[in-house]
């Protein structure tokens, strides 16, 4: 019989974990000093941050906000190093609105606020679906707010869609094959031949309008946002169509889509912008007022659509063949199969790529400076050319950079939110 | 075949464009404003102020033309153009006149088919160095690193000058003026070269202008002036004589302050003809009789505009130099108003 020497009858009280395994110390050990290489990197990074703060910090701390010119700024600073942020204080309305009449600043502001209202039903599922009607009329409303003039022009232009749908519905029972084409062609004819006389007629009968603002008054972030938002909104549907076209079995459709995508992707955006601003002028008859902003928006949209098409094609390629076959076996036609089964999955996969293209497009809008449009970068040159602010450099770029960061970071965060919301897999 | 036809008709439309713009004055009157191409921003020459109003020496030429045609200097639509877009904008009719510190050269006149109507600023390329370098002449710049804007005539002038004087240099190519100044101040190059007016304007913006010096050598001729398209001499005459009226007004002592007084009639028939109280010079241009008086009243004479935009009283601080009247030893010489 073995002799039992010791049996513990009571549990030991739990001990405090060692100091190195709890709280801040553990976090620091795990995250900052987990090895000698990481330790060195941590020290080096900390030294760099301190160095940066010591060099840039005073520049911000000494910033001058109240001055009428760079010379005055320097007088106030009296030899110390400091930012002359007075230029931002003096010119921020111009950087935001360009040459838009200052008494009408509420119009672009309202258009921007309404943009968020119009986007809400598309972005957040909690918003009532009825708001989609507002999203549908928003383009016309925004155009009217920004450019002003008679209310009837956007109304009549939007009516083109109604005309197309009406023609389609009217013809469908009689000529089912022709109806879709007629529905597509009718609005084009409406826009080409009916909009101007009908607008003139309605405006004469019932004049409703606000002060018109010419395109050359647009500038600064208003211009960037107009070009960016329009390009983003139009390039997604166009990109989806191009991606589907590229995967199509119809030879002609496929060839056109491949040709378009490869051509646009093979040409730098700046070339397209020069084409829009310079080459078109030679071909159009003199006196044609083909708005420069419209020309730029078209080019930017086509450019982004080609990239978008390839991003979405990547998403389409990731869908297993079984999904297409399942859709076919359910008896769905092509458009229903795409709309209900393939595209929802493909677009979800493509979200990071799509948002990537959006952000790239928004930042590319600064390229319009090369064709003489006064976007924020262009305005910074113009502000610097003013004798009061000649010689100022970093302050303007910092402000513009900060503004762009806000927009791009916002888009990026939303895309991550969307990815989490749509996450249905079990990885 | 069809493609050729389409291209052919496009080209034909293009040529039609050239022919149809023959009467620019009528187009301008119909539009109710002069479309004027200006620089997107050049200190003292053209820049929008905080209210978005364009100001500057080149801008004044546009306003003078509007004052002559409409009697209202605000009837100008300013189109900002870059170095790349300016000539196409003028050739395609997007602007009626280009007043954008453009150097009058043979090929721009003859090959690009523009008419330079005169010179509103005689410039030339110069060098700026730090005083600490101890250089007093451009001849001593052998082996220097030079900050230079790419794609400009200044780049070619620089190469010519150093080759003629058998010197070597190391170019630091830079895209914009503002960037070039940052590089120069940061010490990336010993020398910054551009038009002398630009150098003076830039030096005035430095925190320590006394430590920088502009070398006395001017190595090129840069006659800057407004230009219009070939093919409409009537319109070219209007712009040419609007500029001449500003120059002549200064020569005869007509200022915006005394123009009303002088317009009542003077003993000098040249002044009377210029201000429209004698003869019918305005009608010859298809303009109102007081066209030149409007220019002086609303925009000012050449000297007034110079002093208020780029002259010695402004931060730009340019001396008249070559841009003085011929009677003062300068090059400004308006032909007689007769």
pLDDT per residue as tens, chain A (427 positions): 567 788 888 888 888 888 878 888 888 888 888 889 999 999 999 999 999 999 888 888 888 888 888 888 888 888 788 888 999 998 899 999 988 988 899 999 999 999 988 888 878 878 887 888 888 889 889 999 999 888 888 888 888 888 888 888 888 888 777 777 888 888 888 888 888 888 888 888 877 888 888 888 899 999 999 999 999 999 999 999 999 999 888 899 999 999 999 999 999 999 998 888 877 777 776 666 678 888 899 899 999 999 999 999 999 999 999 999 999 999 998 888 998 999 989 998 898 999 999 999 999 999 988 888 888 988 988 888 888 888 888 899 999 999 999 999 999 998 888 888 887 765 5
The DSSP bridge partners found for residue B128 are B192, B214
Contact B69, B29 (CB under 8 A): yes
Nearest CA in chain A to B317: A387
pLDDT at site A179: 78
**Cβ–Cβ of A374/B176 closer than 8 Å?**
no
CB-nearest to A283 from B10, B55, B77 is: B10
**Cβ–Cβ of A384/B16 closer than 8 Å?**
no
B237 to chain A, minimum CA–CA distance in Å? Answer: 22
CB-nearest to B47 from A71, A386, A391 is: A386
Closest residue by Cα to residue A261 from A297, A300, A295, A305:
A305
pLDDT at site B6: 39
**Cβ–Cβ of B52/A390 closer than 8 Å?**
no
pLDDT at site B11: 40
Partner A contacted by B201 (CB < 8 A): yes
A94 contacts on B by Cβ (under 8 Å): 48, 50, 52
DSSP assigned state of B207: S
Contact B65, B97 (CB under 8 A): yes
**Cβ–Cβ of A371/B314 closer than 8 Å?**
no
Nearest CA in chain A to B314: A387
B91 to chain A, minimum CA–CA distance in Å? Answer: 8
A411 to chain B, minimum CA–CA distance in Å? Answer: 31
B41 contacts on A by Cβ (under 8 Å): 378, 381-386
pLDDT at site B5: 39
pLDDT at site A275: 85
A 312-331: CB under 8 A from B: none
Q: CA B219 to CA B153: how far, in whole Å? A: 12
A91 contacts on B by Cβ (under 8 Å): 50
Find the length of chain A: 427
**Cβ–Cβ of A383/B93 closer than 8 Å?**
no
pLDDT at site B23: 87
**Cβ–Cβ of A372/B315 closer than 8 Å?**
no
pLDDT at site A286: 62
At the topology level of CATH, where does B14-122+223-328 sit? D-Maltodextrin-Binding Protein; domain 2 (3.40.190)
Nearest CA in chain B to A393: B178
What is the domain partition of chain A in residue ranges? 21-77, 90-100+216-421, 150-210
pLDDT at site B151: 65
**Cβ–Cβ of A372/B181 closer than 8 Å?**
no
**Cβ–Cβ of A278/B92 closer than 8 Å?**
yes
Mean pLDDT throughout B254-262?
93
* B300-319: pLDDT as tens digits: 999 999 999 999 888 888 88
Q: How do B125-130 and A149-150 pair as beta strands?
A: unpaired
At the topology level of CATH, where does B128-220 sit? D-Maltodextrin-Binding Protein; domain 2 (3.40.190)
Closest residue by Cα to residue A130 from A115, A120, A144, A139:
A120
Q: CA B253 to CA B21: how far, in whole Å? A: 37
Q: What's the distance, CA A282 to chain centroid? A: 31
Q: CA A244 to CA A258: how far, in whole Å? A: 11
A70 contacts on B by Cβ (under 8 Å): 205
Residue owning tokens 């032909």 = B335
A213 to chain B, minimum CA–CA distance in Å? Answer: 13
What is the domain partition of chain B in residue ranges? 14-122+223-328, 128-220
Q: Is B12's pLDDT higher than 50? A: no
CA angle B56, B58, B64 (to 5 degrees): 95
Checking phi first, is residue B103 left (phi over 0); if not, alpha (psi -120 to 50) or beta? Answer: beta
**Cβ–Cβ of A285/B17 closer than 8 Å?**
yes
**Cβ–Cβ of A381/B51 closer than 8 Å?**
no
Domains B14-122+223-328 and B128-220 share a fold: yes
Partner A contacted by B314 (CB < 8 A): yes
Closest residue by Cα to residue B231 from B69, B23, B57, B14:
B23
Partner A contacted by B192 (CB < 8 A): no
Return the CATH architecture of domain A90-100+216-421: Orthogonal Bundle (1.10)
pLDDT-based confidence at B2, cuts 50/70/90?
Answer: very low
Closest residue by Cα to residue B158 from B202, B217, B208, B96:
B217
**Cβ–Cβ of B43/A102 closer than 8 Å?**
no
Mean pLDDT throughout B6-27?
53
Partner B contacted by A278 (CB < 8 A): yes
Report chain A's C-alpha Rg in angstroms: 29
Residue owning tokens 């030679």 = A282
DSSP assigned state of B78: E
Residue owning tokens 């020290």 = A43
* B164-219: pLDDT as tens digits: 999 999 999 887 788 888 899 999 999 999 988 888 888 888 888 889 999 988 99
CB-nearest to B85 from A102, A372, A393 is: A372
Strands annotated E in A249-354: none
Closest residue by Cα to residue B34 from B222, B259, B274, B299:
B299
Q: Distance of CA B143 to CAs B101, B140, B167, B172, B187, Å?
A: 31, 9, 7, 13, 15
Report the first-to-last Cα separation within chain A, whole angstroms. 56
DSSP assigned state of B132: G
Partner B contacted by A15 (CB < 8 A): no
Return the percentage of chain A with pLDDT > 70, whole number: 98
Q: What's the distance, CA B149 to chain centroid? A: 19
The DSSP bridge partners found for residue B129 are B191, B213
pLDDT at site A288: 65
A329 to chain B, minimum CA–CA distance in Å? Answer: 45
Contact B205, B198 (CB under 8 A): no
- Give the list of residues 6+ apart from residue B309 with CB closer than 8 angstroms, or none: B44, B45, B55, B56, B57, B60, B316
**Cβ–Cβ of A281/B42 closer than 8 Å?**
no
Contact A146, A172 (CB under 8 A): no
**Cβ–Cβ of A285/B314 closer than 8 Å?**
no
pLDDT at site B8: 40
- What is A308-320 written as a DSSP string? HHHHHHHHHHTS-
Closest residue by Cα to residue B248 from B331, B325, B158:
B325
CB pairs under 8 A between A and B: 123
- Other C-beta atoms lying within 10 Å of the C-beta of residue A6: 4
Q: CA A368 to CA A381: how far, in whole Å? A: 13
pLDDT at site A42: 92
Q: Distance of CA B276 to CAs A135, B92, B234, B246, B293, Å?
A: 61, 34, 19, 14, 7
CB-nearest to B40 from A282, A372, A391 is: A372
B233 to chain A, minimum CA–CA distance in Å? Answer: 19
Q: Is B307 exposed, middle or buried (0-12, 13-18, 19+ CB in 10 A)?
A: middle
Partner B contacted by A276 (CB < 8 A): no
**Cβ–Cβ of B315/A387 closer than 8 Å?**
yes
**Cβ–Cβ of B17/A282 closer than 8 Å?**
yes
**Cβ–Cβ of A390/B201 closer than 8 Å?**
yes
A 358-397: CB under 8 A from B: 369-374, 378, 381-388, 390-391, 393
B108 to chain A, minimum CA–CA distance in Å? Answer: 18
Q: Which long-range contacts (CB under 8 A, 24 or more apart) does A103-110 make?
A: A104/A148, A104/A211, A104/A213, A107/A145, A107/A146, A107/A148, A107/A210, A107/A213, A108/A145, A108/A146, A108/A222, A110/A145
pLDDT at site A18: 83
- Other C-beta atoms lying within 10 Å of the C-beta of residue A180: 13
* ipTM of the complex as predicted: 0.78
Q: To probe the interface with B, which of A89, A286, A378 has the most B CB atoms within 10 Å?
A: A286
């Amino acid at each position: 019989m073995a002799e039992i020497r010791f049996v513990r009858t009571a549990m030991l009280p739990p001990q405090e974990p060692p100091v190195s395994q709890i709280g801040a110390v553990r976090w620091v050990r795990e995250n900052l000093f987990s090895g000698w290489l990481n330790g060195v990197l941590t020290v080096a990074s900390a030294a760099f941050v301190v160095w940066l703060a010591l060099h840039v910090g005073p520049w911000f701390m000494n910033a001058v906000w109240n001055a009428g010119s760079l010379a005055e700024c320097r007088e106030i600073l009296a030899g110390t190093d400091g930012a002359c942020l007075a230029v931002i204080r003096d010119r921020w309305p111009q950087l935001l609105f360009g040459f838009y009449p200052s008494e009408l600043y509420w119009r672009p502001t309202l258009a921007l606020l309404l943009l968020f209202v119009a986007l809400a039903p598309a972005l957040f599922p909690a918003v009532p679906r009825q708001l989609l009607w507002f999203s549908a009329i928003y383009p016309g409303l925004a155009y009217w707010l920004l450019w002003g003039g008679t209310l009837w022009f956007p109304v009549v232009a939007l009516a083109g869609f109604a005309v197309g749908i009406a023609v389609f519905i009217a013809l469908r029972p009689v000529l089912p094959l022709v109806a879709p084409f007629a529905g597509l062609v009718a609005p084009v004819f409406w826009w080409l031949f009916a909009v101007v006389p009908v607008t003139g007629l309605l405006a004469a009968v019932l004049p409703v309008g606000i002060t018109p603002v010419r395109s050359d008054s647009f500038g600064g972030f208003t211009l960037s946002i107009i070009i960016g938002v329009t390009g983003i909104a139009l390039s997604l549907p166009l990109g989806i169509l191009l991606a589907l076209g590229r995967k199509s079995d119809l030879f002609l459709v496929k060839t056109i889509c491949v040709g378009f995508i490869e051509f646009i992707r093979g040409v730098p955006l700046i070339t397209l912008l020069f084409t829009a601003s310079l080459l078109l002028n030679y071909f159009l008859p003199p006196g044609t007022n083909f708005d420069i902003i419209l020309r730029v928006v078209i080019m930017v949209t086509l450019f982004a659509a080609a990239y978008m098409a390839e991003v979405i094609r990547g998403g389409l390629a990731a869908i297993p063949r079984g999904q297409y076959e399942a859709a076919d076996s359910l008896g769905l036609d092509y458009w229903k199969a795409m709309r209900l089964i393939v595209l929802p999955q493909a677009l979800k996969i493509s979200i990071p790529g799509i948002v990537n293209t959006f952000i790239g497009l928004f930042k590319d809008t600064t390229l319009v400076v090369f064709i003489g449009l006064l976007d924020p970068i262009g305005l910074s040159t113009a502000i610097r050319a003013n004798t009061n602010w000649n010689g100022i450099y970093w302050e303007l770029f910092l402000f513009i950079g900060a503004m762009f960061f806000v927009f791009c970071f916002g888009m990026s965060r939303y895309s991550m939110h969307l990815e989490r919301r749509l996450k249905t897999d079990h990885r | 075949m069809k493609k050729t036809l389409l291209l052919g008709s496009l080209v034909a439309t293009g040529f039609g464009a050239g022919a149809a713009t023959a009467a620019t004055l009528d187009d301008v009157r119909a539009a109710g404003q002069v479309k004027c191409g200006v620089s997107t921003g050049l200190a003292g020459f053209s820049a929008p102020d905080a209210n978005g109003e364009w100001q500057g020496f080149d801008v004044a030429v546009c306003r003078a033309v509007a004052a002559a045609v409409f009697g209202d200097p605000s009837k100008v639509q300013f189109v900002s153009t870059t170095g790349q877009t300016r000539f196409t904008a003028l050739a395609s009719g997007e602007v009626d006149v280009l007043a954008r510190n453009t150097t009058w050269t043979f090929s721009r006149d003859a090959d690009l088919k523009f008419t330079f109507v005169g010179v509103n600023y005689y410039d030339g390329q110069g060098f700026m160095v730090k005083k600490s370098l101890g250089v007093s002449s451009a001849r001593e710049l052998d082996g220097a690193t030079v900050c230079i804007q790419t794609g400009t005539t200044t780049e070619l002038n620089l190469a010519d000058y150093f080759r003629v004087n058998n010197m070597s240099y190391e170019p630091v190519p830079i895209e914009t003026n503002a960037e070039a100044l940052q590089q120069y101040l940061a010490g990336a190059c010993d020398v910054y070269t551009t038009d002398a007016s630009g150098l003076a304007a830039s030096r005035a913006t430095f925190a320590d202008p006394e430590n920088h010096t502009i070398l006395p050598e001017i190595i090129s001729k840069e006659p800057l002036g407004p230009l219009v398209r070939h093919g409409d001499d009537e319109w070219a005459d209007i712009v040419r004589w609007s500029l001449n009226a500003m120059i002549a007004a200064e020569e005869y002592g007509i200022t915006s302050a005394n123009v009303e007084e002088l317009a009542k009639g003077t003993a000098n028939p040249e002044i009377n003809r210029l201000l429209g109280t004698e003869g019918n010079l305005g009608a010859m241009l298809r303009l109102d009789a007081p066209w030149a008086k409007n220019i002086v009243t609303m925009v000012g004479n050449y000297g007034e505009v110079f002093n208020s935009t780029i002259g010695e009283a402004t931060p730009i601080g340019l001396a008249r130099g070559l841009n003085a009247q011929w009677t003062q030893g300068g090059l400004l010489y308006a032909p007689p108003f007769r």
